[in-house]
Every structure is written in C-alpha cells, then in structure tokens.
Amino acid sequence: MNDHEEFEAPKTHEQIEAEEAKLTTQVWYNRCYLAVLAGVMDGTEKRPHNDIWNAMKAHALKAETEYPDIAIQKLNERELGRIEGQLYALRWVLGNESLGMDT
C-alpha cells in the first residue's frame, strides 16, 4: 500500500442497517416469494390461503418499489449463500445476538 491511497470512510450505523434490511428483503424475495410463485405457476405447490397470498404479493410489491433492482435479480443458491454470509457479518457488527439466518 502506498502513502497516497485513501480509505473509504467507515459506514454509519444507519447505512449498515439499511444494507441489512435490503439484503434480508432480497433473500426473502428469492427464497420465499419467487419460490412459492414458481411452485404455484408450475403446479407443484398449492396457492397459499388468500390472506397469506395477498400479504406475500403486497410485501413483494413493496420490495420491488423500495428496491427496483430486486425484481430482476433471480439469485441462485450460491449467490443467496453469499448474501446470507454478508447478513451474518452485518448483524454481528450491529450487535444482533441471535445472528440467526431467519431471513
């Protein structure tokens, strides 16, 4: 490293929380919403009860509105595993005691 390299300023608590929320939403969107939607569409899963189905669709729409790039990012298991690793690290930094992968 030379003396002229500059380091990026550390992220604020708010920035870390925002990234944690985005990544949690991204995992939910792929693992829950898209997985159920695909199963319903191809007939391998029954559509959830109307209340659950409508809540899932509303949450997905909110996610797509808040994070527009989320809808075009169908992630594979390797990519989702990488994101879960990032979530683990962010939650550790935030002092989350559970550190569970309950996304």
Q: What is the pLDDT of residues 6-54, one digit of tens each?
A: 888 999 999 999 999 999 999 999 999 999 999 999 999 999 999 999 9
Q: Record the tokens describing residue 42, joined without a space.
A: 């191809």
pTM: predicted TM-score of the whole model, two decimal places: 0.79
pLDDT confidence band for 101 (50 / 70 / 90): low
For 68-71, which contacts have Cβ atoms below 8 Å and span 24 or more sequence positions?
Answer: 70/25, 70/26, 70/29, 71/29
